Amino acid sequence: MGGYTGKILRINLTDRKTSNEPLNMEFARNYLSGRGLAGKMYADEVSSDVDALSPENKMFIATGVLTGTKVPTSDRFMIVTKSPLNGEITSSNFGGYWGTQLKFASYDMVILEGKAEQPVYIKIQDDLVEIKDATHVWGKDIYTATDILKQEFGDDLVKALTIGPAGENRSLMAVVMNDLYRAAGCGGVGAVMGSKNVKTIMVRGTGKVETANSSEIERVLSMALRKIRGNNVGTQNKTTKRLTQREACYRCPIACGRFSKGDDGVGAGPKYKCTGDFEEADDLCNKLGLDKISVNVTIAVGIELAQRGYIKPKELDGTPLEFGNAKGTLEWIRKIAYSEGLGAKMALGPYHFAESFGAPELSLVVKTQRQDRQSAIRKDLTAVIDAVGLCLFTSFALGLSDYTAIVNAVIGCKYTNEEILACGERILNNERLLNLRVGYPVVADTLPKRFLKNPIPDSPSKGQAHRLAEKFC
């Protein structure tokens, strides 16, 4: 069967032992790979009442069956674990080259369990797996730590999956970064990795991913690539005078990555996630290992809490917390990463931060699963795209039949469109059941009251409020 390496790497950090185990091909048939397969294994292996930051929680780092193949955008992989931010199962997706290198090293997935006694990093070089001391890079930012460990590894093609000070300090907004600028940004996965005392996972593979039907692959990929280029996917990126270069993940014709020129030099630009218009703030989040979207919202919540008198001036410790203050924003990002002063409360994320002042409604956190039939189909297909290791931007150009044809050509199976969608539905149902097991209530599937009750004060939508009840009743 093509696409899969057929091997999982399990790392017990408590015992400092590693082991290989075969991929469960029955699970793979029903849940594909990536988000789906890892979610199924997580449900089977981890108790629903586990503390997300305890040694008993596990972290699954899973590639897709298409990751590392010739398929356009076949660079994606997932981190699946229990989120310390909201207690739910989280599937955090990112690209770059790390997942491809893991496949080239002949692994479909890495499972971290337990907790190392001291800070460590993991070195994967084809069949050689080592757990090594990381005390010399613990406390360092992601850029610095990655540079040091790459030099020690001695191979320019090695890829590093790294947390920053935010993850070490278990900020619930901490991310895991790879290729310096690619983040698994959702759910506080960086805090989970930090709770296990793992700074970095380095991987270098020299193999390749075998596929089932080379002639059919060439045909379906040629058609898919024409559609992607013909729909101008990627040209929808906003270009600015500050853009200096674009960057692509493995096998990606879209190249959504961008480097922007700021006042202090060139850094990774906002792409589709940023903190206001501040390139420096965006880059600092990358450097310290924080989710830019969550930080953006949290600082905005803090500003409103201060304006409404919940946060007293003395609690700011002289750091401005106001819209438009770039220097103040940078300092709050630093305080969040290092859990200093009010930053320790901010590090809990927007909802818990607002809740700590008795005003959770100001967080504007949205968690909705309500859907009509069309949105259900879209969610099923999204789960499939995540599971097989492709970028969601391809869905601007490709449809269900395209994905089915690609999967069949690579694996050598004969999935129908309906069977592929059934895999997506199965993945979502598994995640939904997991969240119900951990106590996530169905009644939480709604929007904040502020969205439903408070009319928009200005803009072309002035006077309107979200009509959720009309849509779903």
- Residue 410's domain is classified under what CATH number? 3.60.9.10
What average pLDDT does this structure show over 104-129? Answer: 97
- In this predicted structure, the answer to whether residue 213 has a pLDDT above a threshold of 90 is no
Same domain, 17 and 158: yes
- In this predicted structure, the answer to whether residue 371 has a pLDDT above a threshold of 70 is no
| 85 lies in some domain | yes
- In this predicted structure, the answer to whether residue 46 has a pLDDT above a threshold of 70 is yes
- Which of the listed residues 343, 363, 383 is the one where a domain comes to its end? 363
Q: What pLDDT sits at residue 455?
A: 80
Q: What pLDDT sits at residue 228?
A: 87
What average pLDDT does this structure show over 135-152? Answer: 97
- Which of the listed residues 313, 339, 363 is the one where a domain comes to its end? 363
Q: How confident is the model at residue 279 (pLDDT cuts 50, 70, 90)?
A: confident
Same domain, 347 and 378: no
- In this predicted structure, the answer to whether residue 266 has a pLDDT above a threshold of 90 is no
- In this predicted structure, the answer to whether residue 48 has a pLDDT above a threshold of 60 is yes
- In this predicted structure, the answer to whether residue 61 has a pLDDT above a threshold of 90 is yes
CA distance 29 to 268: 38
Q: How confident is the model at residue 472 (pLDDT cuts 50, 70, 90)?
A: very low
Q: In this predicted model, what pLDDT tens digit does every residue of 93-107 receive, in sequence order?
A: 988 899 999 999 999
| 368 lies in some domain | no
| 121 lies in some domain | yes
Q: What pLDDT sits at residue 308?
A: 95
Q: In this predicted model, what pLDDT tens digit does every residue of 154-176 receive, in sequence order?
A: 999 999 999 999 999 999 999 99
Q: What distances in angstroms separate CA 132 from CA 49, 120, 145, 242, one per listed residue? A: 31, 5, 14, 40
Q: What pLDDT sits at residue 199?
A: 98
Token pair of 358, please? 């008795």
Percentage helix, strand, coil for the chain under 3-state DSSP, each rounded to 5: 40, 15, 40
Residue 291's closest CA among 465, 167, 127?
A: 167
| 430 lies in some domain | yes
- In sequence order, the 6+-apart residues with CB closer than 8 A to the CB of 411 are 1, 2, 3, 4, 65, 212
What average pLDDT does this structure show over 2-13? Answer: 97
- Which of the listed residues 363, 395, 420 is the one where a domain comes to its end? 363
Q: What distances in angstroms separate CA 267 from CA 181, 260, 284, 468, one per listed residue? A: 9, 6, 9, 40
Same domain, 80 and 229: yes
Number of domains in the chain: 3
Same domain, 5 and 95: yes
CA distance 176 to 195: 13
What average pLDDT does this structure show over 321-343? Answer: 95
Q: In this predicted model, what pLDDT tens digit does every residue of 412-454 receive, in sequence order?
A: 999 999 999 999 999 999 999 998 888 765 545 566 777 777 7
Same domain, 56 and 104: yes
Q: Is 454 exposed, middle or buried (0-12, 13-18, 19+ CB in 10 A)?
A: exposed
Q: What pLDDT sits at residue 152?
A: 95
Same domain, 20 and 121: yes
Same domain, 198 and 309: no
Same domain, 177 and 197: yes
| 311 lies in some domain | yes
CA distance 3 to 67: 8
Which residues share a beta bridge with 128? 125
Q: How confident is the model at residue 370 (pLDDT cuts 50, 70, 90)?
A: very low
- In this predicted structure, the answer to whether residue 250 has a pLDDT above a threshold of 80 is no
Same domain, 151 and 66: yes
| 67 lies in some domain | yes
Residue 431's closest CA among 186, 193, 196?
A: 186
Same domain, 232 and 148: yes
Structural domain harbouring 388: 1-239+373-440
Q: What is this structure's pTM?
A: 0.88
Token pair of 69, please? 């193949």
- In this predicted structure, the answer to whether residue 270 has a pLDDT above a threshold of 70 is no
What average pLDDT does this structure show over 212-216? Answer: 83
